[in-house]
């Protein structure tokens, strides 16, 4: 069996290892591979916690101790290592957290977990493509695992290809969740919500589906709905750490600090080894004014991971707020060693400024602007440090805008060219007011020319309409634009009356056609229909996707097209409520004879 493994292509070898890891009961987070080596970052779920493993497969006749040490991180905490090779290892005791399995062990695992079928997989794959047999449960799981791998590697096209293959064989909740995640990543939120909704309709207690639903809504910016989805997730599974964390993060964004703190504490009760939770907990405590507890949380995060940059930065912000500038600078040094960005240097500039170290402050803020030129806060701080008033900065900004305006102006008339040249010279001399007057004069002249061109176009259009309506008017050129417009409208009415008989034969879609298109989700065709039923149907589409602003526009259109359209008016009222327009919602409901 090992000889067959040696002869496999790299893709087949990785596929086999992937299957084995899954069959052994591990959940794979991520995998990478290179020539004859496949590495899987995985965890073994057990009640109340999970064990972190890194599993490495090698196709080598002999693996030395030095080669092993190159592959693993012996200083890592809370990680168990499992190395499996087709050959043998140089015998060496490397500790309890490292398991070595040679070719015989590899063969035994393949037999024990029923993976002999992989060795006939190529032939069976050909038969499957020809439709001569149904893929086995193992091969179905393999397709899904490939979809997960490509999803993790951000190759969404290949991930979708594999998950669609798997769903054609059998529609499973796991496959649908993977598809929803892919759709989320490529920004197709409505389709992702549709997939997740189907899962929840079948099993409302699926906490993972609620978790994915929450992430999609969060990406869409609907934080209220996202928090409710995460709430459902922990309602059905109170041991879901990720749900508690995400719910806490959403509540933190909504400035609901006490509720966020409760969520972080729930997550820590399940797994206290995650530095991100301790860091976010510290942020919530800081906003609640509990500075000592916040500092302890940041320090705990750094005990678990000394390279956790955000904890260093948040610790620096905390000290800065407490006016402990030396401690803030020391904490910030830890952040800048790990991550150089505008946030860090801007805080450093503020620390220097508070300590009257002007030179250091200017250098730091310039570094911040170098990293992020558009940072308005940094620009304003630099102006203050260099003694520039806001008025002077605004003056310089006006000069810059006027220069850009001059460059954009495309004038050909001699007089206009002279004025633009004069405006440019005045700007160089600092006479902004005179330059501005000259630019305005050129603009006004160009505008008067445009008005003349518009009047000429209106004259030609009216003349054409009069010809079509067989109307004769003397002194047409002496009429004002308002009179030309009225005359054109009268001519148009006559043209329309003449062609009324022809219009009677034009095919018109029945209103029920909009309902049919809605059921078939043919949105582009639905948009082509110009009636209230179509507008209402499009509103329902956006409402279901929780895109309430879009829904409001379509329900409005339907209601304005037909003020007696009860359903559209009711839908609009409900959408107003979702958009926080309670007064408007009440007015509509009152009109309908309903009360809130």
493 and 522 inside one domain: no
Instruction: Return the SS3 of 306.
Output: coil
Within-domain flag for 6:
yes
Residue among 559, 512, 509, 520 at smallest CA distance from 539: 559
Residue 141 · residue 15 · CB < 8 Å:
no
Two tokens at 278? 């301790």
Residue at token pair 């401690």: 327
Within-domain flag for 409:
no
Within-domain flag for 96:
yes
Residue 507, pLDDT > 50, answer no
pLDDT value, residue 250: 94
* Cα–Cα distance for residue pair 60/71, rounded to 1 Å: 14
Average pLDDT over residues 11-22: 84
% of the chain beyond a pLDDT of 70: 76
Average pLDDT over residues 472-476: 72
104 and 235 inside one domain: no
Within-domain flag for 454:
yes
pLDDT value, residue 376: 82
pLDDT value, residue 141: 76
Among 458, 473, 506, which residue terminates a domain? Answer: 506
Domain that holds residue 559: 512-591
35 and 170 inside one domain: no
pLDDT value, residue 449: 60
48 and 114 inside one domain: yes
pLDDT value, residue 547: 80
The mean-pLDDT minimum among 299-308, 454-463, 550-559 falls in: 454-463
195 and 330 inside one domain: yes
Among 314, 330, 348, which residue terminates a domain? Answer: 348
Residue 460, pLDDT > 80, answer no
Average pLDDT over residues 353-371: 91
440 and 580 inside one domain: no
pLDDT value, residue 454: 63
pLDDT, greater one: 136 or 199: 199
Residue 481, pLDDT > 80, answer no
475 and 574 inside one domain: no
* Start-to-end Cα distance in the chain: 72
* Cα–Cα distance for residue pair 427/424, rounded to 1 Å: 5
Number of domains in the chain: 4
How much is the pTM?
0.50
The domain that contains 82 carries what CATH number?
Answer: 3.40.1350.10
Q: Which of 349-363, 425-439, 472-486 has the highest mean pLDDT?
A: 349-363
Average pLDDT over residues 45-67: 83
pLDDT value, residue 503: 41
336-359: pLDDT as tens digits: 999 889 999 999 999 999 988 989
Average pLDDT over residues 557-571: 77
Two tokens at 86? 């087709």
84 and 157 inside one domain: no
Strand-pairing partners, residue 31, are 40
In three-state form (DSSP H/G/I as H, E/B as E, the rest C), the secondary structure along 568-583 is HHHHHHHHHHHCCCHH
Residue 427 · residue 438 · CB < 8 Å:
no
Instruction: Return the SS3 of 60.
Output: coil
Residue 518, pLDDT > 60, answer no
Cβ burial of 512 (10 Å; 0-12, 13-18, 19+) is exposed
The mean-pLDDT minimum among 261-270, 357-366, 440-449 falls in: 440-449
Among 315, 333, 348, which residue terminates a domain? Answer: 348
Average pLDDT over residues 22-47: 83
Q: How confident is the model at residue 447 (pLDDT cuts 50, 70, 90)?
A: low
pLDDT value, residue 575: 83
Give Cα 272 distance to the centre of its chain: 29
∠ CA 474-476-477, nearest 5°, is: 130
540 and 578 inside one domain: yes
Residue 133, pLDDT > 60, answer no
pLDDT, greater one: 578 or 218: 218
Residue 210, pLDDT > 90, answer yes
Q: How confident is the model at residue 129 (pLDDT cuts 50, 70, 90)?
A: very low
Neighbours of 43 (CB within 10 A): 15
Within-domain flag for 298:
yes
> If residue 40 lies in a helix (H) or strand (E), which one and from where to where?
strand 37-46
* Cα–Cα distance for residue pair 155/166, rounded to 1 Å: 17
112-122: pLDDT as tens digits: 888 776 665 54
The domain that contains 516 carries what CATH number?
Answer: 1.25.40.10
Residue among 304, 254, 326, 245 at smallest CA distance from 280: 245
Q: How confident is the model at residue 480 (pLDDT cuts 50, 70, 90)?
A: confident
215-244: pLDDT as tens digits: 999 998 889 999 999 999 999 999 999 999
Secondary structure letter of residue 116 according to DSSP: G
pLDDT value, residue 334: 92
pLDDT value, residue 132: 40
DSSP 493-561: HHHHHHTHHHHTTS----THHHHHHHHTT-HHHHHH--SHHHHHHHHHHHHHTT-HHHHHHHHHHHHHH
The mean-pLDDT minimum among 158-172, 247-261, 405-419, 525-539 falls in: 405-419
76 and 112 inside one domain: yes
Residue 322, pLDDT > 60, answer yes
pLDDT value, residue 208: 93
Within-domain flag for 241:
yes
Long-range CB contacts for residues 401-406, cutoff 8 Å, separation at least 24: 402/427, 402/432, 402/435, 402/436, 402/439, 403/427, 405/439, 406/439
Residue 293, pLDDT > 90, answer yes
Residue 391, pLDDT > 60, answer no
Instruction: Return the SS3 of 447.
Output: helix
114 and 188 inside one domain: no
Residue 66, pLDDT > 90, answer no
* Cα–Cα distance for residue pair 160/145, rounded to 1 Å: 12
Residue 355: which residues within 8 A CB-CB, separation 6 or more?
A: 325
125 and 228 inside one domain: no
Strand-pairing partners, residue 50, are 45
Q: How confident is the model at residue 431 (pLDDT cuts 50, 70, 90)?
A: confident
Average pLDDT over residues 23-36: 83
* Cα–Cα distance for residue pair 302/337, rounded to 1 Å: 14
Within-domain flag for 171:
yes
Within-domain flag for 442:
yes
pLDDT, greater one: 20 or 595: 20
Average pLDDT over residues 520-541: 74
């Amino acid at each position: 069996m090992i000889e067959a493994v040696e002869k496999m292509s790299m893709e087949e070898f990785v596929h086999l290892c992937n299957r084995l890891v899954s069959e052994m009961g591990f959940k794979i987070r991520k995998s990478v591979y290179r020539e004859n080596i496949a590495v899987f970052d995985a965890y073994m779920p057990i009640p109340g916690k999970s064990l972190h493993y890194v599993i490495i497969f090698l196709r080598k006749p002999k693996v030395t101790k030095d080669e092993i040490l190159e592959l693993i991180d012996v200083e890592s905490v809370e990680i168990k290592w499992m190395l499996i090779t087709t050959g043998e290892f140089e015998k060496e005791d490397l500790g309890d957290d490292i398991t070595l399995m040679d070719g015989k062990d590899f063969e035994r695992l393949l037999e024990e977990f029923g993976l002999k079928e992989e060795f006939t997989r190529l032939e069976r794959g050909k038969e499957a493509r020809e439709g001569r047999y149904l893929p086995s449960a193992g091969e179905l799981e393999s397709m899904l695992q490939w979809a997960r791998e490509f999803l993790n590697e951000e190759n969404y096209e290949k991930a979708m290809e594999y998950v669609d293959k798997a769903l054609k064989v059998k529609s499973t909740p796991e496959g649908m969740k993977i598809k929803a995640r892919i759709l989320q990543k490529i920004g197709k939120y409505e389709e992702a919500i549709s997939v997740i909704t189907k899962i929840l309709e079948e099993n409302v207690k699926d906490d993972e589906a609620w978790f994915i639903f929450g992430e999609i809504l969060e990406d869409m910016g609907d934080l209220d709905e996202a928090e409710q989805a995460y709430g459902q997730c922990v309602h059905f599974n109170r041991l879901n750490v990720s749900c508690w964390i995400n719910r806490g993060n959403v509540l933190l964004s909504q400035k609901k600090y006490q509720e966020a703190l409760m969520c972080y504490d729930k997550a820590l009760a399940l797994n206290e080894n995650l530095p991100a939770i301790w860091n976010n907990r510290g942020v919530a405590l800081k906003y609640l004014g509990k500075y000592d507890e916040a500092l302890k949380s940041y320090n705990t995060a750094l005990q678990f991971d000394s390279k956790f940059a955000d904890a260093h930065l948040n610790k620096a912000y905390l000290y800065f707020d407490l006016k402990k500038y030396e401690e803030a600078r020391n904490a910030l040094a830890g952040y800048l060693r790990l991550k150089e960005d505008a946030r860090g240097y801007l805080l450093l500039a503020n620390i220097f400024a508070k300590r009257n170290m002007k030179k250091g402050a200017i250098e730091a803020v310039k570094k911040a602007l170098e990293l992020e030129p558009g940072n308005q806060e940094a620009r304003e701080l630099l102006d203050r440090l260099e003694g520039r008033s806001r008025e002077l900065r605004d003056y310089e900004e006006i000069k810059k805008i006027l220069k850009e305006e001059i460059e954009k102006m495309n004038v050909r008339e001699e007089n206009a060219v002279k004025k633009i040249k004069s405006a440019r010279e005045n700007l160089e001399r600092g006479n902004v007011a005179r330059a501005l007057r000259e630019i305005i004069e050129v603009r006004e002249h160009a505008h008067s020319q445009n008005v003349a061109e518009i009047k000429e176009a209106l004259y030609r259009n009216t003349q054409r309409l009069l010809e079509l309506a067989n109307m004769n008017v003397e002194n047409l050129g002496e009429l004002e634009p308002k009179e030309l417009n009225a005359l054109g409208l009268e001519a148009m009415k006559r043209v329309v009356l003449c062609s009324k008989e022809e219009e009677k034969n034009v095919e018109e879609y029945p209103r029920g056609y909009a309902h049919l298109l809605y059921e078939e989700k043919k949105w582009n065709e639905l948009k082509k229909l110009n009636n209230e039923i179509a507008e209402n149907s499009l509103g329902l589409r956006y409402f279901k996707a929780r895109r309430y602003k879009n829904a409001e526009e379509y329900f409005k259109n339907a209601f304005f097209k037909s003020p007696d359209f009860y359903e559209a008016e009711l839908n609009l009222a409900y959408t107003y409520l979702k958009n926080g327009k309670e007064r408007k919602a009440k007015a509509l409901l009152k009109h309908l004879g309903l009360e809130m």
